[in-house]
Chains A and B, each alone.
Chain A
Amino acid sequence: MNFVTELKEGLLIAWSAIRANKLRSCLTTLGIVIGIVTVTLMGTAIEGLNRSFMQSVSSIGADVLYVDRTDWIITSHEDWMRMNRRRPITLAQARSAMRQVDFAQAIAPLSETGAGIKNHYRESDSVDVIGTTDEYAVAAGLSLNDGRFFTPVESEGGRPVCVLGATVASNLFKLTPPVGERVTMNGRNFDVVGVLEPVGGMFAENGPDTKVFVPLNQFLLAFRNNPNITLQVKVKPGLDLGDAREDLRAIIRKIRRLAPNDDDDFSINQQDQIVDTFHRIAGTIAGVGLFITGLSLFVGGIGIMNIMFVSVAERTKEIGIRKAIGAKRRTILVQFLIEAAVICLIGGVFGIGIAWPATIGMSKVIPATLSPTIVALALGVAAATGLISGFLPALRAARMNPVDALRAE
């Protein structure tokens, strides 16, 4: 008997057995439905978090290196103490580096401070003010909603102009478009020349949305005259990021006058570090989450096993008849495995039917969608649950002695 016929016959038998015990099949399936719903939702949530995170960090730029005084992610107190003792990166050092770096598509010094901001009507206690140059727009890959970023001339001349992050702009200007208006920070007036496209995402609080950008030369006058500088280097397309990183490191070491055996007294940060850290954390969350939700599927699987044992016991006579007529062990095994798998697959389909609207609700909080991958995976897991939990009962059926089985009532 070939396998396709066996499969077809098995499906037929499974279907009629399930229909013959509708209530029992429903109740058994319920366990699998719940299991699949929880696992699917968990998977979707994790996928959504990942996507949300990647969307959020994309503003950092995958091909951008950041020369900072300290690491972005500091995991020990010792490191924190050590890095905080480092000398600031001065503007002169930053400018020297900018002259020497030849692998940058754009390179921009950044300095950051907090300040109050107001216009005629409204004010905000504290926004992040970033002093930088016109190249920042390229280095950070900014896109503007309205107006423009400041020009090289404005940047070089330290003109009192500013570009507002989306949230800042919408908070200050409810009715009029901000471009062309004037805001006051630290007692100085700035002309708004542009408003950024909103970025949003997980880190919206710390992202460009809540920032105000001014020319660095103006920043030095208006806010701080000797700030710590971060250098943002967007590497030319096609160049190896690792090589660029090493070149940059050598240049900064020279500028900082480090002896060959001195440790770096600065950090070169990049998006990967955050992504790696996130993946470590997210991986743990995913592991624990899927384990816990997997337990419900496990319980569902036990239910299937239980009911399959009952089903085998009830159909002892049928098994005897089939064996007498010529069914081999494998045929009987396959028949009951298919029955268990079909029950679970039906559960899987219902589970997805429930999880789908739930993910739509979830998508209001995180960018979660029920991807075809998750659907396929959920159905696969459901079928596998059926096969695994159906195996022992099916084996019992397959090994029945036909004489005894025929004698059963």
Chain B
Amino acid sequence: MALIRLDKISRRYQMGGETIHALREVSLQIERGEYVAIMGPSGSGKSTMMNLIGCLDTPTSGTYELNGTDVSDMDDNQLAEVRNREIGFVFQTFNLLARSSALHNVELPLIYAGISAGERRELALQAIANVGLTDRMHHKPNELSGGQRQRVAIARALVNKPSILLADEPTGNLDSRTGEEIMALFAQLAGKGNTIILVTHEEDIARHARRILRIRDGLIASDEVQARA
């Protein structure tokens, strides 16, 4: 069974009396363990796609089954729970809480999951160690480099052992060398069987994925599996 199954998903917005069709009846399946890049120019609907897959938004029509559960009609609180359990986000601008230490940032999803303090600390320490930042864990985001911040964000995304790692332009705010490091980390995570969905507009970055979806005008323009390098 597919981990993600989109069936004729549409998303329309009202903007100044005009209806914008961000996605038009898109159907898509992603299996567990896939490493997928979603590409497309701005305005193509890829952000909308990401928001829907990430359960930040719900479709206007169509059904979305995540891990066997229909999430297309869930309310705010149910979606929050699904996000907490199933999805780890990595953002372009890292989106760490500025006033909290790296460790506390990583602990946050566990707090929302209601995990006890002891277990929480243990899991967070493990996740921070996995991205190699144990010695920086008590630093605040502004005391860390961009690459380090993104590693903290990845640790935070993975700490709950989610079904999907959803990364939105994860290298967009990093220099190319650091970007390559992060992509190497992703490759490593994919190798361990994590499902990764990468949203990007950079060909170089997308090429790291094994499957590339191209979106244009709210439709999937192409869906190709890359030959292994």
Contact = CB atoms under 8 A, between A and B. Distances in A.
B211 interface: no
Interface string A388-409: 0000000000010011001000
B83 interface: yes
A17 B117 CA distance: 22
A206 interface: no
Contacts of B111: 1, 5, 9
Contacts of A402: 56-57
Contacts of B51: 403
A324 B88 CA distance: 9
Contact of B112 (A317, A320, A327, A406): A327
A321 B112 CA distance: 12
Interface string B114-127: 10010000000000
Contacts of B96: 321
11 contacts: A5-B114, A321-B97, A324-B54, A324-B56, A324-B83, A324-B95, A325-B112, A326-B80, A328-B112, A329-B77, A402-B56
Interface in B108-148: 108-109, 111-114, 117
Interface centre among B54, B99, B117 (most CB of A within 10 A): B99
A1 B114 contact: yes
Contacts of B97: 318, 321-322
A399 B100 CA distance: 23
Given A9-B111, A322-B108, A328 B99 contact: no
Interface in B10-47: none
A329 B79 CA distance: 11
Interface centre among A17, A320, A328 (most CB of B within 10 A): A328
A403 B80 contact: no
Contacts of A399: 76
A176 interface: no
Contacts of B77: 328-330
B83 A325 contact: yes
A400 to B, nearest CB: 10
Contacts of A403: 51, 56-57
Interface centre among B57, B80, B84, B100 (most CB of A within 10 A): B80
A406 B109 contact: no
A322 B96 CA distance: 10
Interface string A346-369: 000000000000000000000000
Interface of B: 51, 54, 56-57, 76-77, 80-81, 83-85, 89, 91, 95-97, 99-100, 108-109, 111-114, 117, 156, 160
Contact of A326 (B57, B81, B99, B117): B81
Contacts of B89: 324-325
Interface centre among B57, B76, B96 (most CB of A within 10 A): B76
Contact of B108 (A17, A320, A325, A406): A325
A316 B63 CA distance: 29
B24 to A, nearest CB: 19
Contacts of A261: none
Interface centre among B111, B114, B156 (most CB of A within 10 A): B111
Interface in A304-322: 317-318, 320-322
A326 B56 contact: no
Contacts of A234: none
Contacts of A327: 80, 112
A75 interface: no
A230 B147 CA distance: 96
Contacts of A322: 97, 108, 112
A17 B51 CA distance: 29
Given A402-B56, A403-B51, A403-B56, A326 B113 contact: yes
A403 B76 CA distance: 12
A331 interface: yes
A143 interface: no
B57 A2 contact: no
Contacts of B113: 1, 326
A326 B84 contact: yes
B84 A2 contact: no
Interface in A1-55: 1-2, 5, 9, 16-17, 20
